[in-house]
Amino acid sequence: MALRIYDTARRDVVDFVPLVEGRVGIYVCGLTVQSEPHVGHIRSGVNFDVLRRWLEATGHEVTFIRNTTDIDDKILTKAAEQGRPWFNLAYDMHRELTRAYAALNVAPPTYEPAATGHIPEMVELIELLIERGHAYAAPDGSGDVYFDVQSFADYGALTHQKTADMEPATDADPRGKRDPRDFALWKGRKESEPETASWPSPWGRGRPGWHIECSAMAGKYLGEAFDIHGGGVDLRFPHHENEQAQSRAAGHGFATYWMHNAWITTAGEKMSKSLGNSLVVPSVLERVRPIELRFYMVAAHYRSNVEFSFEALDEAAVGFQRIEGFLERAGMPAASDELRAAFVDAMDDDLGTPAAVAAIYDAVRDGNKLLGDGDTAGAAGVAADVRAMLDVLGLDPLDPAWGTSASGATDKLTAAVDALVAGLLEQRTAARAAKDFAAADAIRDRIKAAGITVEDTPQGAKWSID
């Protein structure tokens, strides 16, 4: 079947039909670079990386734009608290974010525009909205410019809300607003803000509102209409609602489909920066390898909340090690050119990664049986299928992006465990030869207690992690 995705605007899983056959334009809202990224921040990057990889695997040419917001109230506040220039904070945190994406094998986007690099495009779009009667400059001389929500009949269409039921917009001081729900397109400079955090405009020096940034950048790199707009579920309102309203009010088609990933939660709440440093990406990667953290994220459906725990992360790591163990025993053959039908069906069903991972586990189970039966050629064929499926998910252990953190470290660990298990098996064989079955059983139980299964085959004893 063709790819079907859940469209937030339609509230349903629908057929994905690109505007231009064989080509897909995707815009994903990146992060506001105000602090070190934690695992909750990175989930969106991983989820939409899987979408991109699947589209490319099925023959599409993908233009993938993911922005960064590098000017924002929070950036200014945190920089002031730390006694450093706001642009230095934004730059440092952007570098941390780039390292985190790279560590988890999130492919670089086609382009990663920064808000501060696109002020002229934003001013031009604001001027168009004023010209079309959908925006106005505040009459109080503040330099603020607001979007007039009452002027756009479809405001609220994305999230299925009525304007009368909405709370006032809190993204700017309400001074000069015609309606408390009007949102800021341009913010006049305040005396308390650094001069460097403002740019000239027809309304005086200031800086862009958050929402106008993405409309301007998406339009510049993907055109007035494109296929998919993505981001975290918390961005649906007001950010994405406002993006859609201002873009369509300007006469642009904007996004055809809207996709949103769910949260990684702690104690049922959205992961927040108040948790401290324990869940920032470098700290988590002291406990598990990057490929294992990615596997943990990919194994859950992108629209399902993930309740984070280190126990669950450790279990995912062990699960991935089982897959790697099979590949290593099968000789790490080259990936096959075809994908298994169960995997394809899962991915075409709204990126059903849980079922896709289940298809990989099924293949590993089949491959282990073939190894046990001595059919090394058959097992190698299965391993080639497994590598092909893992590659789509960005999880191929031999992908150069992982460096030695995946295959190299695993090879060393496997060799060490293999030597230890081999020594115990020699002791077990000697005990059985001496008819000391109690000692032989004790050695078997020690191996089993370590989570290792030993299988006697015509080619000798083989072991695997449970």
Q: Is 131 annotated as a binding residue?
A: no
276 by Cβ neighbours in 10 Å (0-12 / 13-18 / 19+) ranks as: exposed
What lies within 8 Å, CB to CB, of 101 at 6+ separation is: 42, 45, 108
Count the neighbouring beta carbons within 10 Å of the beta carbon of residue 463.
Answer: 18
Q: Is 301 annotated as a binding residue?
A: no
Distance of alpha carbon 147 from alpha carbon 111, whole angstroms: 28
Strands 145-147, 135-137: pairing kind: antiparallel
**Would you say 210 and 185 are in contact if contact means Cβ atoms under 8 Å apart?**
no
Among 128, 134, 168, smallest CA distance to 152 is for: 134
And the tokens for 48? 């939409």
Q: Is 177 annotated as a binding residue?
A: no
Collapsed DSSP state (helix, strand, coil) of residue 203: coil
Distance of alpha carbon 344 from alpha carbon 361, whole angstroms: 15
Beta-bridged to residue 135, according to DSSP, are 147
Q: Is 134 annotated as a binding residue?
A: no
Q: How is residue 436 annotated by DSSP?
A: -
Give residue 343's identity as a one-letter amino acid code.
Answer: F
Strands 225-232, 23-28: pairing kind: parallel
**Would you say 112 and 93 are in contact if contact means Cβ atoms under 8 Å apart?**
no
88 by Cβ neighbours in 10 Å (0-12 / 13-18 / 19+) ranks as: exposed
In angstroms, what CA-CA distances link 119 with 70, 115, 366? 12, 7, 56
Among 132, 276, 123, 129, smallest CA distance to 186 is for: 123
* Side-chain half-sphere CA neighbours of 447 within 13 A: 27
Phi, psi dihedral angles at 453 (to 5 degrees): -105, 130
Q: Is 56 annotated as a binding residue?
A: no
**Would you say 145 and 135 are in contact if contact means Cβ atoms under 8 Å apart?**
yes
Binding residues for Zn(2+), as ranges, are 29, 214, 239, 243
Residues annotated in the binding site for ATP, as ranges?
273
Residue ranges of the annotated binding site are 29, 214, 239, 243, 273
